[in-house]
Amino acid sequence: MKKIAFIIILGLSFALHAQGEKGKQHQRSEYTPEQQAILKTKKMALHLDLNDDQQDKLLEVNKSWAEQRAREKEEFKANFKGDERPDTEARYEHQLQMLDNQMAYQEKIQTILNKDQYTAWKEHQEKRNRGRACRKGRSNRKSEKRES
């Protein structure tokens, strides 16, 4: 009987702990677009060794980028309230718009950074994107098929 009670308590503690971790996933959204831009610029300055002029230009680009993303996110959410999910066409259009915005952001970054800094930034972006794909369970499926 003691073992059963212990197992139940242990299971409940795991469940409560897992639910507590869910809320920590969206911490980024707590920051204002300006705060997000400042943090992103500081991180890039540390990683890429930016000079003051580059930091100022980058801060302006990051501010406009963060404000635009926040605005588009709110518009997208406003179109689909509650449990309503966007249809395939709406998601497709949203993805196209996001990719166009990312390409424009990348072009602006390329004009601000020198060649070495831009290369380092691109490598960091690719590494970051690979990490995201693995966390979401979208790892390279070709390598998984080879192992099978």
- Report pLDDT for 10: 74
- pLDDT range class, residue 21, cuts 50, 70, 90: low
- pLDDT range class, residue 146, cuts 50, 70, 90: very low
- pLDDT range class, residue 147, cuts 50, 70, 90: very low
CB atoms under 10 Å from CB of 112, counted, come to 19
Q: Is the pLDDT assigned to residue 17 strictly greater than 50? A: yes
Q: At what angle do helices 88-112 and 52-79 cross, to 10 degrees?
A: 170
Q: Is the pLDDT assigned to residue 29 strictly greater than 60? A: no
Amino acid symbol at 69: R
The chain-wide mean pLDDT, for the chain, equals 81
Mean pLDDT of 82-91: 79
Mean pLDDT of 137-148: 50
Rounded Cα–Cα distance for residues 21 and 15 (Å): 10
- Report pLDDT for 119: 93
If you ran DSSP here, which 8-state letter would residue 80 be given?
A: S
